[in-house]
Amino acid sequence: MFENYEVWFVTGAQLLYGGDAVIAVDAHSNEMVNGLNESGRLPVKVVYKGTVNSSKEVTATFKAANNENKCIGVITWMHTFSPAKMWIHGLQELRKPLCHFHTQFNKEIPWDTMDMDFMNLNQSAHGDREFGHITARMRRPRKLVVGHWQDAAAQEKIAVWMRVAAAWADAQDMLIVRFGDQMNNVAVTDGDKVDAEMRLGYHVDYCPIAELAAYQNNVTEAEVDKLVETYKKEYAVAPADLGNEHFLKQIRNAAYAEIALRRLLKDKGAKAFTTNFDDLEGIDQLPGLASQRLMAEGYGFGAEGDWKTAALYRTMWFMGQGLPKGCSFLEDYTLNFDGEKSAILQAHMLEVCPLIAEQKPRLEVHPLGIGGKNDPARLVFTSKEGEGIAATIIDLGNRFRMIVNKVDCIKSKPLPKLPVASALWIPRPNFAVGAGAWILAGGTHHSSFSYDLTVEYLEDYAEIAGIEMLVIDENTTLTEFKKELRLNEVYYLLK
Ligand code: MN
């Protein structure tokens, strides 16, 4: 989906240095943009939009960026000394994410040939500081990338920002469909949906479960036959289950719900949804298998009405498209105290995304001791080992706070009496500090987890959204974390 987007590259200069300089700046910019596009590291195409030499040109270019749907963000770079007052009006207009690239056309100083003409032309060292000043003065949210444009490290940072900017664009028309409300009395997954739309872009709509039941009534036997065959092909099924009437009936009922749900979401143009195990009138079972499979396709999901996590999952899935290890909705399930290896079992009653599975998922049917419906089908597996991030967004009343914890997934064990998919992780820096900081920050028991994304992605996201972000990683201490919580209270009161 990145191919539908483009990022604009705008070079800053001024006309002080004459026509030859203008031509050289343009030629260098073209070469840099071509080099970036040919690097193979950037997921989104960069389009050079020319050099701006005046306030009028900056403003016109940024207004055009606002109005071009394909444009998900703007990269600026100052080739010469571009006096930054000329950027004020344009920056006031710009509504797209901004990336300031502090780079330089030449990599090394041409010691033997450098003269004053060269210096008048190649002024990024001070031009980018002038631009940096005005973005700081205007408190303009931006990503700053520092490095030579041919260096992999700088290109990788731009790639991260591009994925985030694309996910941001995706969220601006995201519809989240909720079947039912929050689980009764639950505080942490609730929040201000008006503020969320103003701040984060997405829209949350209620949908009666009766509408899903009506869709289900229009699903044909032949469609179900076909999907059940897909299940049998994609997942491991116990030989005994293949002859078990109850199992076969329940996976058929699951297929009805999946086809109905996918169709309803498509018809509404929804990118995410939530369910509630207490609100399933007319549906045979909690649609666990459907939720698992739809998550793997990129639909955002939150259980028990958790629309914030549904939105965040969609956004994190979107950022990570094409990356190898996957992401999932997860819940802090139960603790394993084991000294330095103390860990948290991550699972849910059904809804864990198979993208994170380390082996072929098993398709199983078991009773669910909650909700009073028939036995649901679900995919059972344990997750891959490796590093990842768990993230959540909570509503503090006056603002949204994102909390991100670096975690290490370790080898999990089978749960013969608890047939759910699971991961087992040790939060960084360790269980006590990681879980402690998350709890002190007011974080949810639900999270959106990814192996592929790093803290940098969500840092870029929080910057674009203008929301608070707290990171819990190998450097976290509770003493410093508490200070950060207190300082942020003051900062956001004054903001
Ligand atoms: Mn839950």
147: left (phi over 0), alpha (psi -120 to 50) or beta: left
Residues 6 or more apart in contact with residue 314 via CB below 8 angstroms? 170, 171, 174, 271, 272, 298, 299, 300
∠ CA 295-456-98 to the nearest 5 degrees?
100
Ligand 1 is an ion; its neighbours by CB within 5 Å are 303-304, 331
Q: Please tell me the predicted confidence (pLDDT) of residue 103.
A: 98
Domains, the chain: 6-171 (3.40.50.10940), 175-494 (no CATH)
Question: Residue 204 Cα, ligand 1 centroid: separation in angstroms?
Answer: 19
pLDDT band of 227, cuts 50, 70, 90: very high
Cβ-based burial of 414 (10 A; exposed 0-12, middle 13-18, buried ≥19): exposed
User: What single DSSP character describes residue 335?
Assistant: E
Specify the pTM.
Answer: 0.97
Q: Please tell me the predicted confidence (pLDDT) of residue 442.
A: 98
pLDDT over 70, % of the chain: 100
Residue-averaged pLDDT of the chain: 96
Question: Residue 446 Cα, ligand 1 centroid: separation in angstroms?
Answer: 6
Q: Mean pLDDT throughout 66-70? A: 98
Question: Residue 66 Cα, ligand 1 centroid: separation in angstroms?
Answer: 39
Q: Can you say how many angstroms the Cα of residue 330 is from the centroid of all Cα atoms in its chain?
A: 15
Which secondary structure element, helix H or strand E, spans residue 318, and what is its range? helix 307-319
Q: Are strands 446-450 and 386-395 parallel, antiparallel or unpaired?
A: antiparallel
Q: Please tell me the predicted confidence (pLDDT) of residue 16.
A: 84
Question: Residue 424 Cα, ligand 1 centroid: separation in angstroms?
Answer: 16
Question: Residue 155 Cα, ligand 1 centroid: separation in angstroms?
Answer: 38
pLDDT band of 370, cuts 50, 70, 90: confident
Q: Mean pLDDT throughout 442-458? A: 98
Question: Residue 302 Cα, ligand 1 centroid: separation in angstroms?
Answer: 8
pLDDT band of 147, cuts 50, 70, 90: very high
Q: pLDDT tens digits for 86-130?
A: 999 999 999 999 999 999 999 999 999 999 999 989 999 999 999
Per-residue tokens: 323: 């990356």
Question: Residue 224 Cα, ligand 1 centroid: separation in angstroms?
Answer: 28
- The neighbouring-strand residues paired with 424 are 345, 410
Question: Residue 263 Cα, ligand 1 centroid: separation in angstroms?
Answer: 25
pLDDT band of 17, cuts 50, 70, 90: confident
pLDDT band of 413, cuts 50, 70, 90: confident
Question: Residue 303 Cα, ligand 1 centroid: separation in angstroms?
Answer: 5
Count other Cβ atoms within 10 Å, centred on residue 234. Answer: 14
Which secondary structure element, helix H or strand E, spans residue 395, and what is its range? strand 386-395
Question: Residue 394 Cα, ligand 1 centroid: separation in angstroms?
Answer: 15
Residues 267, 235 contacting (CB under 8 angstroms) = no
pLDDT band of 343, cuts 50, 70, 90: very high
205: left (phi over 0), alpha (psi -120 to 50) or beta: beta
Reduce the DSSP state of residue 205 to 3 states and report it.
Answer: strand
Cis peptide before 429 (omega within 30 of 0): yes
Reduce the DSSP state of residue 103 to 3 states and report it.
Answer: coil
Check the CA dihedral 180-184-189-191 and report its sign: positive
Rg (CA), the chain: 25
Residue 461, pLDDT above cutoff 90: yes
Question: Residue 325 Cα, ligand 1 centroid: separation in angstroms?
Answer: 23
Residue 21, pLDDT above cutoff 90: no
Residue 291, pLDDT above cutoff 90: yes
Strands (E), 147-250: 175-178, 203-206
Report the candidate in 178, 161, 174 with the shortest Cα–Cα distance to residue 201. Answer: 174
What does the alpha-carbon distance between residue 473 and residue 411 come to, in Å, rounded to a whole number? Answer: 20
Place of tokens 């956001």: 492
Q: Mean pLDDT throughout 294-318? A: 98
pLDDT band of 180, cuts 50, 70, 90: very high
Question: Residue 165 Cα, ligand 1 centroid: separation in angstroms?
Answer: 29
Q: pLDDT tens digits for 33-48?
A: 999 999 999 999 999 9
What does the alpha-carbon distance between residue 40 and residue 84 come to, in Å, rounded to a whole number? Answer: 32
Question: Residue 117 Cα, ligand 1 centroid: separation in angstroms?
Answer: 65
What does the alpha-carbon distance between residue 430 and residue 407 come to, in Å, rounded to a whole number? Answer: 9
